[in-house]
Structure 1
Amino acid sequence: MKKFNITVNGTAYDVEVEEVRGGASAAPRAAAPAPRAAAPAPAAAP
Protein backbone atom coordinates (compact mmCIF):
# COMPACT_ATOMS: atom_id res chain seq x y z
CA MET A 1 0.00 0.00 0.00
CA LYS A 2 1.38 3.40 -0.96
CA LYS A 3 0.32 6.68 0.65
CA PHE A 4 0.08 9.95 -1.25
CA ASN A 5 -0.91 13.53 -0.48
CA ILE A 6 -3.06 14.92 -3.28
CA THR A 7 -4.25 18.54 -3.59
CA VAL A 8 -7.33 19.25 -5.74
CA ASN A 9 -8.54 22.84 -6.12
CA GLY A 10 -6.73 23.83 -2.94
CA THR A 11 -8.13 20.95 -0.84
CA ALA A 12 -5.55 18.42 0.40
CA TYR A 13 -6.40 14.71 0.57
CA ASP A 14 -4.43 11.81 2.08
CA VAL A 15 -4.94 8.73 -0.09
CA GLU A 16 -3.75 5.13 0.02
CA VAL A 17 -3.28 3.17 -3.20
CA GLU A 18 -2.91 -0.59 -3.38
CA GLU A 19 -0.77 -1.84 -6.25
CA VAL A 20 -2.20 -5.01 -7.77
CA ARG A 21 0.12 -7.22 -9.76
CA GLY A 22 -0.73 -10.21 -11.89
CA GLY A 23 -3.14 -11.01 -14.71
CA ALA A 24 -6.33 -10.70 -12.68
CA SER A 25 -8.18 -7.43 -12.91
CA ALA A 26 -11.41 -6.18 -11.48
CA ALA A 27 -14.50 -6.26 -13.65
CA PRO A 28 -15.12 -2.91 -15.34
CA ARG A 29 -17.69 -0.73 -13.63
CA ALA A 30 -20.68 0.60 -15.51
CA ALA A 31 -20.46 4.28 -16.34
CA ALA A 32 -22.64 6.65 -14.37
CA PRO A 33 -25.72 7.83 -16.25
CA ALA A 34 -25.42 11.19 -17.96
CA PRO A 35 -27.04 14.07 -16.08
CA ARG A 36 -30.41 15.13 -17.44
CA ALA A 37 -30.82 18.62 -18.86
CA ALA A 38 -32.96 20.98 -16.82
CA ALA A 39 -36.47 21.63 -18.11
CA PRO A 40 -36.73 24.92 -20.02
CA ALA A 41 -38.22 27.84 -18.12
CA PRO A 42 -41.80 28.74 -19.08
CA ALA A 43 -42.17 31.71 -21.42
CA ALA A 44 -43.27 34.98 -19.86
CA ALA A 45 -46.86 36.02 -20.53
CA PRO A 46 -47.14 39.14 -22.75
Structure 2
Amino acid sequence: MQITIAITRLIISKGAFVCLIYVPISSIVERSLSSLRALSLMNGAKKM
Protein backbone atom coordinates (compact mmCIF):
# COMPACT_ATOMS: atom_id res chain seq x y z
CA MET A 1 0.00 0.00 0.00
CA GLN A 2 2.84 2.39 0.85
CA ILE A 3 4.33 1.98 -2.62
CA THR A 4 1.11 2.97 -4.40
CA ILE A 5 0.79 6.05 -2.16
CA ALA A 6 4.38 7.04 -2.99
CA ILE A 7 3.77 6.53 -6.72
CA THR A 8 0.54 8.54 -6.55
CA ARG A 9 2.34 11.37 -4.76
CA LEU A 10 5.10 11.28 -7.36
CA ILE A 11 2.58 11.48 -10.22
CA ILE A 12 0.73 14.36 -8.53
CA SER A 13 3.93 16.31 -7.87
CA LYS A 14 5.14 15.67 -11.44
CA GLY A 15 1.77 16.87 -12.76
CA ALA A 16 1.99 20.05 -10.68
CA PHE A 17 5.58 20.56 -11.89
CA VAL A 18 4.52 20.12 -15.53
CA CYS A 19 1.66 22.59 -15.00
CA LEU A 20 4.04 25.11 -13.43
CA ILE A 21 6.34 24.83 -16.45
CA TYR A 22 3.66 24.52 -19.15
CA VAL A 23 1.48 27.49 -18.16
CA PRO A 24 4.20 30.20 -18.40
CA ILE A 25 5.60 28.70 -21.61
CA SER A 26 2.18 28.60 -23.27
CA SER A 27 1.49 32.22 -22.26
CA ILE A 28 4.91 33.29 -23.61
CA VAL A 29 4.28 31.45 -26.88
CA GLU A 30 0.82 33.03 -27.13
CA ARG A 31 2.28 36.50 -26.58
CA SER A 32 5.03 36.02 -29.17
CA LEU A 33 2.50 34.67 -31.67
CA SER A 34 0.19 37.66 -31.15
CA SER A 35 3.11 40.10 -31.49
CA LEU A 36 4.23 38.32 -34.67
CA ARG A 37 0.68 38.60 -36.01
CA ALA A 38 0.61 42.31 -35.18
CA LEU A 39 3.97 42.83 -36.92
CA SER A 40 2.84 40.97 -40.04
CA LEU A 41 -0.39 43.01 -40.09
CA MET A 42 1.62 46.25 -39.81
CA ASN A 43 3.97 45.14 -42.60
CA GLY A 44 0.98 44.23 -44.77
CA ALA A 45 -0.56 47.66 -44.15
CA LYS A 46 2.72 49.38 -45.09
CA LYS A 47 2.87 47.52 -48.41
CA MET A 48 -0.63 48.73 -49.26
TM-score of the superposed pair, with normalisation by structure 2:
0.28
Bigger Rg, structure 1 or 2: 1
Which structure carries more relative contact order (alpha carbon 8 Å, separation 6+)?
1
In terms of fraction of residues, the more helix-rich structure is 2
Q: Point out the structure with the larger strand share.
A: 1
TM norm structure 1: 0.28
